[in-house]
Structure 1
Amino acid sequence: ISAGPCKVLQIKTKDKDGYESVQIGFEKIEKESHIKKTMKGKEFKHIKEFRCVSPESKAGDDIDVSVFKEGEKINIVGTSKGKGFQGGVKRHGFSGRKATHGVKHEQRMIGSIGCRYPQRVIKGRRMPGRMGFQRITVKNLEVMRVDRENNLLALKGAVPGRKGTLLEISNF
């Protein structure tokens, strides 16, 4: 995983903002014409805020993969792959109907979705719909190797999303 370098854009304190956090920018925008006037001074494609107890860095500092150590457990947050509109069998793991005794054209249908009373579909009923493209957190992934020269992390386990997906990596 390519992780950094990131720049600390702002430190929020409890006295001034009501909570403590660090605002980090990733992938600097090079062209001046691509920066909105409201974003002057924060010329980054991706800006994310991380809550922390006591920020150790100052605005303008760089953060790279050297903050992670081999063998350390980290959490990764990302967006899962979108799978489009899926039926109940794939989306929720429903078993479907029998393949014999008069069952025709409805092997993968979800079956009844309610009763005579209350004469409506209860909220939260698992039905076909869009699957995937959700925020997923994978916890306790182990850092296998840290390459400081190229800002790369090698992890043990899978991370959510497609190749090139933006991930949030945290070690707390």
Structure 2
Amino acid sequence: MAPKPPQGLNCTALHPPPFLLPRSTFRAQFLPQSTTRTIKSTFTPRPSRFAPPTTGLPTLSASSTAALARKAASNTLPLRPGALAIKKGMTAMYDAESGKRTPCTVLQLERNEVVALKTRERHGYWAVQVGAGWKHPSNVTRPMLGHFAQAGVSPKRWVAEFRVRDEGGMVDVGGRIGAGWWREGGWVDVRSTGRGMGFAGGMKKWGFSGQPASHGNSLTHRAMGSAGGSQGSGSRVLPGKKMAGRMGNESVTVQNLKVLKVDEENGIVVVTGCVGGPKGCIVKIQDAIKKPWPEFTMPPFTGKISGAPVLEAEVEAA
């Protein structure tokens, strides 16, 4: 039995040195216990960008069904389909009351008919396929001839799809879409393919200022200059570098064009401003998504294919 230490002396001085004791025992018995201290931020935490449960917002899902539901709720899909038109050229309209001269573009619709329908259950989205113009049957492939024959329409020169929000924007196959689809004072979005400029240099395509006109410059006045910084940028040309190349021939969308005049008999729609593409190009017209939806009445939708043979059972049921 070890002798007791004398009274009145410092007891910690008689304990064995720390290196003879286990680390955990030494810290628990002889070192003062203190709370853990860390660096404390003076700023409040920023809210999460991904809708945490505490915000009460719906949790986002990665499924295609959820994506279509979000797109329908975001009001970015038109309520009804559009039409295909031919760009006839530009002119101007003069308002005698205000004294303003407004430049405008003349668009003409030609034999716009619904060729097919895309449904959510079968294709994954709602859309209306519209055909315009006319094409000789000898210049149409046999699969497309069967496609047009099933819809009960003549062979079309142009075919395009117009996405709609839901079933309320569907039109019976074989139905016609004319210039009366729109009203004067409404707003439309116009999509077309711009003019192709061919191979263009950096000054024409991107607006580069070019090289100096003198002081040692030898036949490189319109050259773009350096395309990379050697080892400073990794000894390569960075992706997305503006360089010479083909210019134009790309899809051009002009939004929020006002409808100035509608001639339903001749299929003419006159819109303000300019529209991309040369004269005679095909143009897609649809209601503007950044303006209030127009007031319209859709034709009754039965879901049946116009021009298809009617079965005897359907006749008896009718």
The correspondence for 1:37, drawn from 138, 142, 146, is 142
User: Is structure 2 residue 215 aligned with structure 1 residue 101?
Assistant: yes
Structure 2 residue 242 is matched with structure 1 residue 126: yes
Q: Give 1:159's aligned residue.
A: 275
Identity of aligned residues (%): 34
Match of 2:114 in 1: 8
Match of 1:110 among 208, 224, 233: 224
Q: Distance in 1 between matches of 2:116 and 2:214?
A: 65
More helix by share: 2
5 Å-filtered alignment, 1:62-77, equals 62-77=176-191
Q: 2-side partners of 1:50 and 1:157: how far apart?
A: 23
Q: Which runs of 5+ in 2 are unaligned?
A: 1-106, 149-154, 289-318
Moved over 6 A (4+): none
Secondary structure of 2:204's partner? Answer: helix
- Structure 1 residues 17, 116: CA separation in 2 closer, same or farther (over 3 Å shift)? closer
8 Å CA contact 1:4–1:63 kept in 2: the answer is no
CA root-mean-square deviation: 1.4
Q: What secondary structure, in the 3-state scheme, does the structure 1 residue paired with 2:256 have? A: strand
Higher relative contact order (CA 8 A, sep 6+): 1
Seen in structure 2, the aligned counterparts of structure 1 residues 133 and 32 have a Cα distance that, compared at 3 Å, is: closer
Partner residue, 2:160: 48
Q: Residue 35 of structure 1 aligns to which amino acid in structure 2?
A: V
Q: Please state which structure has a larger fraction of its residues in strand.
A: 1
**Cα distance in 1 between the residues matched to 2:256 and 2:211:** 39
TM, length-normalised to structure 2:
0.52
What TM-score does the superposition give when structure 1 sets the normalisation length? 0.93
Structure 1, gaps ≥5 residues long: none
Is this contact kept in 1: 2:128–2:170, CA < 8 A? no
Task: Show the counterpart of 1:139.
Answer: 255
Counterpart code for 2:122: K
